[in-house]
Amino acid sequence: MYLASIRANCFFAMVISRHGRAWRRWAIAFIRLFREFTRLSFGTKRRVWQLSEQHDARLFRGYICITYGEDYVMARVSEKVILVTGAARGMGAAHARLLIAEGARVVVTDILDADGGALAAELGNAALYVHQDVSEPKSWATAVAAAESTFGALHGLVNNAGVASMAPIEQFPLDQWNRTLAVNLTGVFLGIQAALPAIRRAGGGSIVNVSSVEGLRGSPGLHAYVASKFGVRGVTKSAALEGAAFGVRVNSVHPGLVTTAMSEGLDPALFPIPLGRAAQPLEVSQAVAFLLSDESSYMTGAEIVLDGGLTIGVPHKCAALEHMFS
């Protein structure tokens, strides 16, 4: 059912005469109505049509596009092949779903085979599930080879897989420290190493590394997680400097509190988030899709922070905002 809203426009894939103003008005009204229907029915608003004042309707790759006199491709990552790690559930699954909706073909990887396989089956022929331990170089070689053999190329990578553990620094177990860095940091390093030659063969592309607000500031108890996410932030910039020569952009996203299984049990009210809530996974996915798309063609080595304003102020105890200046 998820793909129905992506392809259902084929039901009205028609050519509308430039000379029939009434027909163009009818088509625009119909498209707006259908877009609202898909938003309500499938739970997410898809950026499908560019609506213009000129109401110029054109048939483009099977889609009706309403443009400002220029041809626009409906989907931001149309025909791109993207590998997403840790994609069986949570934020990774949200990334995969949105990328499929935006026209990509997606290689879903994880160690959770049942969940990953179910997601790929849900997403249809545009998705492929591959078992992958991101801390193992051979596993990376297998995943990249699967992307190229199945879909013909690799244009993008989302280094999303991550783990976290918490303990006071004096009692922090060494095995947890090593495991966290192996997945969160070494996994990103290995991913860049494995994907860069393939993306270069495809003529260039984009790598998105999922860091965190803990890659911008400290957090008690999350010592390995903080170290790994600061490391992701740093290797993003050094890799961007090298990748630029080959047309490969490398950027990082830094989510704050996101509503996923990893944050289950955390009360957003405990955090000084100016917007007053946790993010939904799709809100992070929108930034990921932007960085994978050609819309971000002049961005590399950059950071996008998605934290509801959590890191923009100096936290302190004070009166409620409405009483602060009275």
Using CA atoms, how far apart are residues 200 and 5, in angstroms rounded to an integer?
Answer: 33
CB 122 within 8 A of CB 93: no
7 Cβ partners below 8 Å, 6+ apart? none
- Catalytic annotation, pick one of 2, 63, 72, 225: 225
Determine whether 225 is an active site residue.
yes
Sheet holding 205-210, edge to edge: 127-131, 105-110, 81-84, 156-159, 205-210, 248-255, 303-306
CB 180 within 8 A of CB 174: no
**Other beta carbons less than 10 A from residue 34's beta carbon:** 18
Helix axes 174-181, 223-243, angle to 10 degrees: 20
Catalytic residues: 225
